[in-house]
């Protein structure tokens, strides 16, 4: 329905009861975009409760986008002043670089990539503008601009609870599979002057598209497959992305991410992904392609209270540790438990395909 409206085709709201509609909107992150596309009118028998929900979500997203837009400038300026090379990826880059409806694109945090040797310097720079270090791990430092760092409220899309800035030392993202170290990613960015006169690097369209495709299908451990990222790729394509350059970035990444992402895009938006690109990534994923071929998009897209099926996720786990991690997340989605501790003691070895 969302993609049909983007094409300018008539597409009425689905006949969902208000609670189901709210749940569907939160699961995909597209409720506010539906409002922007005209889903908040009262025509066509749309219930007043659904109209009120869409308008409320538009307001929540608008407030959050403005707060993050202002925060992104502050963060990039602080890093620039302290001679820390950095690139904003995902949410901030999409809003100002690709999305024609900036107040409809939800954001949950800001992801910043810095060179690995600038990690401590980057954290110190952000402390000077009032960001507090919330938690640290091998793959990121999480700082808070506001809130307590919790997941926040589903009904309000975390607008008050989740003012996070994630500082990545290179793009070494173990959840999404990216291992792109410092300069490689920064070299793929273009330089522009920010609103305050500082030099800001922004992710170029092709690596941004490749990143969104991978983020769309976080297959192992979390599997947060969100329809909003399909729309991200739609807008990247509309902006004139060079698919051959996207392929160059995909080949350096994990096919367990790119193949499921491209598969889902192709199922929902036929003919958007070039056929040779889709076939190449499906071939790289090996026997897991069989699982993809037998799935339907609605069985994969993330629900706010659930994960994608264990069968789908385990098909992309290539080590015993990853298989245990999938089981652990299915049983205890909110935190580590015994299964993960057990997995840590198991020697990582590839699983025969």
Which of 192, 219, 222 has its CA nearest to residue 92? 192
- What does the pLDDT average to over 46-69? 83
**Residue 345, token pair as written in the block:** 């003691």
Burial 315-327 (b: 16+ CB within 10 A, else e): bbbbbebbbbbbb
Which of 209, 269, 275, 215 has its CA nearest to residue 236? 209
pLDDT at 165 over 90: yes
Residue count of the chain: 353
Q: Is there a contact between 159 and 63 (Cβ–Cβ < 8 Å)?
A: yes
DSSP codes, 147-166? S-SS---TTTTTTTT-EEEE
Alpha carbons 177 and 171: distance in angstroms, whole number: 9
Q: CATH 3.30.460: does it fit domain 2-203?
A: yes
pLDDT of residue 347: 39
Alpha carbons 73 and 65: distance in angstroms, whole number: 13
Give the DSSP H or E segment for 55: helix 48-81
Q: Which of 43-57, 112-126, 177-191, 254-268 has maximum average pLDDT?
A: 112-126
Which of 38, 113, 35 has its CA nearest to residue 79? 113
pLDDT at 47 over 90: no
Half-sphere exposure of 261 (CA within 13 A, CB side): 32
**What tens digit of pLDDT does each residue of 173-217 get?**
544 444 555 566 666 777 777 666 777 787 888 888 988 888 777
pLDDT of residue 243: 94
| Residue 261, CA distances (Å) to 111, 211, 256, 300, 323 in order | 20, 10, 9, 11, 20
């Amino acid at each position: 329905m969302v993609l049909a409206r983007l094409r300018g085709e008539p597409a009425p709201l689905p006949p969902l009861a208000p609670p189901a509609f709210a749940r569907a909107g939160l699961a995909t992150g597209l409720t506010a975009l539906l409002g922007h596309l005209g889903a908040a009118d009262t025509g066509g028998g749309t219930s007043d409760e659904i109209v009120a929900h869409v308008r409320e979500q538009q307001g929540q997203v608008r407030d959050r986008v403005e707060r993050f837009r202002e925060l992104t400038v502050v963060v990039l300026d602080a890093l620039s002043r302290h001679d820390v090379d950095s690139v904003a990826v995902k949410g901030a880059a999409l809003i100002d670089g690709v999305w024609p409806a900036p107040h409809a694109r939800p954001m949950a945090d800001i992801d910043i990539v810095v060179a690995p040797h600038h990690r401590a310097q980057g954290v110190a720079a952000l402390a000077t503008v009032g960001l507090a270090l919330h938690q640290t791990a091998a793959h990121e430092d999480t700082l808070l601009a506001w809130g307590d760092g919790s997941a926040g409220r589903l009904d309000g899309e975390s607008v008050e609870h989740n003012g996070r800035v994630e500082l990545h030392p290179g793009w070494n993202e173990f959840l999404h599979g990216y291992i792109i170290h410092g300069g490689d990613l920064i070299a793929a960015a273009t330089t522009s002057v920010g609103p305050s006169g500082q030099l800001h690097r922004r992710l170029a369209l092709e690596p941004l598209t490749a990143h969104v495709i991978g983020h769309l299908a976080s297959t192992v451990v979390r599997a947060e497959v969100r329809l909003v990222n399909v729309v991200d790729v739609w807008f990247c394509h509309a902006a004139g992305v060079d698919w051959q350059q996207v392929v160059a970035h995909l080949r350096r990444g994990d096919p367990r991410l790119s193949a499921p992402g491209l598969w889902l895009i192709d199922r929902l938006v036929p003919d958007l992904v070039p056929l040779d690109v889709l076939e190449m990534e499906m071939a790289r994923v090996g026997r897991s392609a069989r699982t993809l071929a037998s799935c339907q998009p609605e069985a994969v897209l993330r629900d706010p209270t659930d994960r994608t099926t264990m069968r789908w996720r385990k098909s992309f786990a290539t080590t015993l540790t990853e298989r245990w991690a999938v089981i652990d997340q299915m049983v205890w989605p909110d935190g580590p438990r015994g299964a993960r501790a057990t997995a840590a003691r198991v020697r990582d070895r590839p699983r025969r395909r």
